[in-house]
Structure formats: structure tokens, C-alpha cells
Amino acid sequence: MIPCDLCGSADPRRILESFRLDGPLVRCRQCGLYYVGERRSALVYGSGNSAEVMERVRDANRGLRNLPLDEEHRLAQLNAKSRLQIIRQYRPSGKLLEVGCARGDFLRVAREYFTAFGVEPNPELWEEANKVAPVHQGVIDTETGSYYDVAVSFHVIEHTPSPKQFLAAISQRLRPKGLVVLETPDIDSIPFLMLRSRWRQFIPEHYYFFDESTMKKLLVDGGFKVEKIARIGKYASGALLLNRLSRYFSPIHYLEGLAARLHFSNLTFELNPHDIMIAIATKEE
């Protein structure tokens, strides 16, 4: 078994097997961190050629149907505006870095108030994001900027080979008193307790799963003062809801045409299953 990334303990307890994960889910007996204890595939960026990793991740998720790209962009923009409102309560402006910026939907919104930069290892996503703001193609460890006022990362830390090293690399690029904002699945949640191996946050390239206590430990051990940890929802649509339900009950996708005719697909609402956390912390001087 892989040792715990937070405390180094090498004796985790096996929790479950899931066909959705790249290995067994285990939990550290010392600090409580949940993680994939064995890795059958190399699905993390930084472990090899980025284009090859991209293809491996794509193959691992080939059975999953995604939303049309324009609907993904529309919802991403709504969620980006919501996240930006939260961030600006702590830092209204400054120099901002988004780590794992995908196609640049958050950068597009953030640049109205911040001097925005990004990091993205996926070469196809990087190409799109780099049209929005200056984006480094690679992982955070190879990014050469410094003295950022804010660093944000949405649903990236669970993909990394080491959350501890990931946060350290971010910290090295932040000013003293700089703000870090991390969003990631929360395994201490009712959806996980109910669905277990079929939890929606289990996908092949997710390797780490935090709860509030392990997230606090990560941040405090990394030299940060925790400002807030909360569960947060997202904007969704009828199309997104049907798409995600079809991953559990495949015949549901046949309802998508009917939903479009009844204008259910475009119905937009806020949804909070309470299984996503946002953590906000300040770098200690």
C-alpha cells in the first residue's frame, strides 16, 4: 500500500473496492485521510508525457457521457461567478493564479477584477485557456511565476500524486498573507455514506478524498491559517441532472430528447448535495 501523504503512516485500513476507482479506497489509521492505496494506471499529470496522460485519462473515462460543450461552458461561467464572489470577500483584487484552469472559464470571469494567470497540464485544455489569459502548460511545480496574492484550484488536488507537495508548490508562489482557495470532494458526506462504491465523486483519476479534519491538517501543516471550510453547491441544469443520473441508470439518457422538447434541459437551478467542500486559508508570514 502507498503510505499516507499527510502523515507518512504505511498501515492504512482498506475501506472498499470500486470499479470507478484506479485501486482500493483505504483510510489512514493515524490521521484519517482517505486515498487510493494502489494505483493501477498512471493517470496523474507530472508522471509522464502530458499528451500520453491525457489519452490514458480519456480512455479510463470512455464510458462516461459528457454534456455538450456549450452547456458545460454556460454552467462553468455561472459557477465561476459564484466562486469569485466568495474569493473577493477575502481579496477584492490583485494577482491571481488558477492551478488546473481547464478551458479558462474561471479566468475569463476573474480577469475583470484580478491580473489573472493559469496553469494547465492538459495540452488541449491549455490551448483554449491560453486564449483567455497567460497560462503555463504543465504542472504547478514547473510554473516559474511568484508573488501571487491569490491562488485558486477547483477539483484538482484530488488528482495529484501528492496533495502535500501540490500545496507546497502553491505556497512557494504566494506572497506572505496570500490567499489559497481549494475546492474538492468531501467524503464525510451523506452521498458517500449512501452510495459508497457508486459515489459520484469516484472516477478513475481521483486519488485523494478529504474531510474537514484532513483538509485542516493539510493546510495547517503546510503553513496556512484556515479562514473557512464549508460545503458548497453548484449551478446545474436539467440536462446536467439527466446526464449524471444516466451514469447510474443508463436508460435515462433516452429521456433527454423529451426533456429538451419540454424545455427541462435549459432549466437552471442551484444544487448542493453537500459533498463538495471549499477551503480558504491565508499563508502565514
Q: Strand 94-99 vs strand 148-154: parallel, antiparallel, or unpaired?
A: parallel
Pull the grid cell for residue 92: 477584492
Instruction: Give the domain CATH number at 78.
Output: 3.40.50.150
220, part of any domain = yes
Q: Could you list the residue range(s) of the whole structural domain that residue 167 is in?
A: 13-283
The confidence score (pLDDT) of residue 242 equals: 80
Q: Does residue 7 fall inside a structural domain?
A: no
Q: Which pLDDT score is estimated for 245?
A: 77
Write the pLDDT tens digit of every residue in 6-48: 999 999 999 999 999 999 999 999 999 999 999 999 899 987 7
**pTM as predicted:** 0.94
Structural domain includes residue 54: yes
Residue 183 included in any domain: yes
Chain CA centroid to CA 131, Å: 22
Instruction: State how many domains the chain has.
Output: 1
pLDDT tens-digit map of 91-129: 999 999 999 999 999 999 999 999 999 999 999 999 999
Cell of 208: 485523494
What Cα–Cα distance (Å) separates residue 250 from each residue in 19, 106, 242?
16, 31, 10
Predicted local confidence at residue 262, as pLDDT: 62
Asked if residue 5 belongs to a domain, the reply is no
Residues in the chain with pLDDT < 50?
Answer: none
**Cell 490567499, located at residue:** 179
pLDDT score of 3: 98
The pLDDT of residue 249 is: 75
pLDDT of the residue at 215? 98
Q: What is residue 147's predicted lDDT score, i.e. its pLDDT?
A: 94
Only one residue has cell 507546497, namely 168
